[in-house]
Structure formats: structure tokens, C-alpha cells
């Protein structure tokens, strides 16, 4: 996933959560990481499943970033 910031001053920390769901919408796994970015910055993040053995059950994922 890619996280980017707008203009401003100073750096900001963001928590990023990715939820992996199956075809029925049931959560299969969830992974969380954090990143600190300065103004007008962007970074690609590799957020991996905590239980990769369940990857075959995943049909969708959704990412959420919070400051």
C-alpha cells in the first residue's frame, strides 16, 4: 500500500491496518504497521499477513491509515 501526506510542517506518525476478508466478508487476518512521514512525503509499505497459511481464503483486503 502507499501512504502519502499533504503539505504542512513537521513529521507525522500513521498507524496502518490492513484487514483481509473472505468472500463472505469474514475477517481472515489483520496486520498493522506504523510509519512516520514528513510533509509532502510518500512511502510504499509492505503489510504482510500474520498468518500467511490462510492466504488462499482471502478474496479482499481493505487498508485504513490513522494519524
pTM over 0.75: yes
Give the domain ranges of the chain. Answer: 2-66
Return the pLDDT at 2: 83
Q: Which among 27, 26, 25, 31 is positioned nearest to 63, based on CA atoms?
A: 31
Return the pLDDT at 60: 98
Q: Which among 53, 52, 63, 67 is positioned nearest to 1, based on CA atoms?
A: 63
Give the integer Cα–Cα distance in Å for 13 and 2: 14
Give the integer Cα–Cα distance in Å for 63 and 11: 21
The pLDDT of residue 67 is above 90: no
The 10s digit of each residue's pLDDT in 14-59 is 999 999 999 999 999 999 999 999 998 999 999 999 999 999 999 9
Amino acid at each position: 500500500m502507499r501512504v502519502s501526506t499533504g503539505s504542512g510542517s513537521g513529521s507525522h506518525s500513521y498507524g496502518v491496518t490492513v484487514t483481509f476478508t473472505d468472500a463472505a466478508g469474514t475477517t481472515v487476518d489483520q496486520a498493522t504497521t506504523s510509519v512516520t512521514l514528513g510533509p509532502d512525503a510518500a512511502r510504499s509499505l509492505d503489510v504482510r499477513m500474520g498468518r500467511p497459511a490462510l492466504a488462499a481464503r482471502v478474496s479482499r483486503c481493505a487498508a485504513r491509515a490513522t494519524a
